[in-house]
Amino acid sequence: MSEADAAEPAEAPHASAADTIPFIELLRGQIAERQADGRNLAVLLIECGVIDRIDAVWGYHVGDAVRSRVAALLRADVVRPGDIVGEMGRDDFACVLSGVEDPAVALLAAEKSLRALNAPFWIGDEEIFASAAIGIAMYPAHGDQAEILLQRAKNASVVAHSLTSRIAEYAEDRDNPAASKLLYENRLRTAVAEDALDLVFQPQYDLRLGQIMGAECLLRWRDATLGMIDVGQAFAAAESAGVVTNLVSSILNRALRNISEFRYSAGLDLRIAVKLPARALLHAELPDVVQRALGTWSLRAGRLNLEIGETSVLGKEPVARETLGRLKEIGVKLSIDDAGVALSSLFWLATLPFQEIKIDVSAAGDLAGAPKSERILQSIIELAHHLRLDVVAVGVADDAAAGRLKELGCDTMQADYRGQALDPKGFVEKFGLNED
């Protein structure tokens, strides 16, 4: 495609009566004809994935020229006489294939569309390529109303982005990631606003003293419609909705409130660990959120332990390291909780203000029968101590393994066999010290 093609709109054909009729009315007319003759109809929703970016870089006038060129390409190379091409949005086009015999015809048209859009758009000396994805909805199989067919074609186009073929036919039982994300975002906003997130607490034992010294707070988001939602999904939804600090604030305040209640009602003076994804550190206001929560519940900063997962982010984002530094200045304890951390990562992690590392010892198996695994664990514990990191072992199988970890110098243990995660009431009932 030449530079002139992209810079100037293609010459428009002579106007016809159809050119002045809204696209949705044209589609309704086609549906009425198919209802009369009993034939199929296909709607292709084509997301170009490039015009918004052209608008941002070169301006709307260039984007308009490219849109006109795309519409001309579709009319010339894809659709047949009697078919319709409509511009649905800045980056979206719809083709109505009238009177198709079966979905295979729609699939061929979608493949022709992709080939047509694979040619570069020249803007000045720059080659710009579309990143198209196409969704297909069939009449009457997927709906008999114009609005429904367009919505389902759009639904399929979102799914198509994740497919190698970049083409998807609408399927009712197929997950739509955009729809799932939107549902999670909206329901999370409501859950945070209504303080409806559940927390459970798992005890952490000091191996040297043999007693509970802390608890890890774990988020449990159980939605009435969506069911149990993974913590990772919760934070992903919070990030896309722009409410990460709101979610962190909700978790922290609930956790610190419960820890205060444990102290006054059950005689348990514990430190509290809260796990956050490293991406939460990209929000520079996070230290202020933490400080406000500590002040609200009159908890010393040293009693709060923030466990950071997905630490690879820290090597790429200076703001995350700056946030860590501010949290260290506040006085909270910082822990590495990343099962996928590589040994090589310890070189730069050692430059950050962490004070603790969690290690999963379940892969080591029976320490008594695996001397090599025991030596590896001992080396990891010694290395952590040289880096001035306390070591928390998770995945401990039994008392024998706990005893051996104590001998190896491990500081703290968190293990299901000594105490599963419980809601606040259950935690007090099982571990409280106060008598009725």
Superfamily per CATH, domain 180-431? EAL domain (3.20.20.450)
Question: Measuring CA to CA, how many Å separate 137 from each of 47, 69, 151, 192?
Answer: 14, 25, 9, 37
Say if residue 161 is exposed, middle or buried (CB neighbours under 10 Å; 0-12, 13-18, 19+). Answer: middle
For each of the chain's 436 residues, which pLDDT tens digit applies?
444 344 444 444 443 444 557 889 999 999 999 999 989 999 999 998 888 888 888 889 888 888 888 988 898 888 888 899 998 888 899 999 988 888 888 999 999 998 888 888 878 777 888 889 999 999 999 999 999 999 999 989 888 887 888 999 998 766 556 666 666 677 777 777 777 778 899 999 999 888 899 999 998 887 776 677 777 878 877 887 788 898 899 899 999 999 999 988 888 889 999 999 888 999 999 999 999 999 999 999 999 999 998 888 787 788 988 999 999 999 999 998 887 776 667 777 788 899 999 998 887 777 666 778 888 889 989 989 998 999 999 999 899 889 989 999 999 999 998 888 998 999 988 888 765 4
Q: Which amino acid is at 398?
A: D
Q: What's the confidence (pLDDT) of residue 342?
A: 65
Q: What's the confidence (pLDDT) of residue 125?
A: 78
Q: What's the confidence (pLDDT) of residue 234?
A: 80
Question: Measuring CA to CA, how many Å separate 360 from each of 278, 348, 381, 391?
Answer: 19, 21, 12, 10
Q: What's the confidence (pLDDT) of residue 255?
A: 93
Other CB atoms within a 10 A radius of the CB of residue 212 amount to 17
CATH 3.40.50.920 fits 3-174, yes or no: no
Q: What's the confidence (pLDDT) of residue 369?
A: 64
User: Residue 6 and residue 72: Cα distance in Å, rounded?
Assistant: 12
Contacting residues for 265 by C-beta, under 8 A, at least 6 apart: 428, 432, 434
Domain extents for the chain?
3-174, 180-431
Do 359 and 391 contact (CB within 8 A), yes or no?
A: yes
